[in-house]
A = this chain, B = another copy of it.
């Protein structure tokens, strides 16, 4: 029953944002909400194709574009060659591990950030992308330990 209610809530969420809650859109959004891994369009497609055998890649891209435009999800440009998507809309930072490629969220307080240089600019979106090595990969292969500082030292 809880799944059904969850789905109904998502429908309402979409409707409230002026987005028609089509099947594909709901499924894509649901996947993004349950998987916290910031999947790529391809990953979403692969995950949903078993459940929606007629699904096409273009539908996934369409759904992502519509959801993103409506502000229901956000598009990460943390990687140059592929987009990643995030259902969390509050402001937070993203860290991508250069070894395993995983993208982690982290809380960040933009309040202290100074950028007086931007007077006159209308700022709509602020993205903070960090890159480096995640704790797991640091443990696994210390051979990767080139130069660099620990985050905690900053």
Contacts and interface: CB of A to CB of B under 8 A. Distances in A.
Interface residues of A, number: 47
Interface of A, helix, strand, loop or mixed by DSSP = mixed
A4 interface: no
Contact of A126 (B116, B130, B135): B130
A117 B151 CA distance: 9
A129 interface: yes
B138 A132 contact: no
Copies, count: 2
Interface stretch (A5-13, A15-23, A102-110): A102-110
A101 interface: no
Contacts of A128: 113, 126-129
A123 B95 contact: yes
Given A77-B77, A108-B114, A117-B107, A122 B132 contact: yes
A2 interface: no
13 contacts: A107-B115, A109-B114, A110-B113, A112-B112, A112-B113, A115-B151, A120-B151, A123-B130, A123-B154, A124-B132, A125-B131, A127-B129, A127-B131
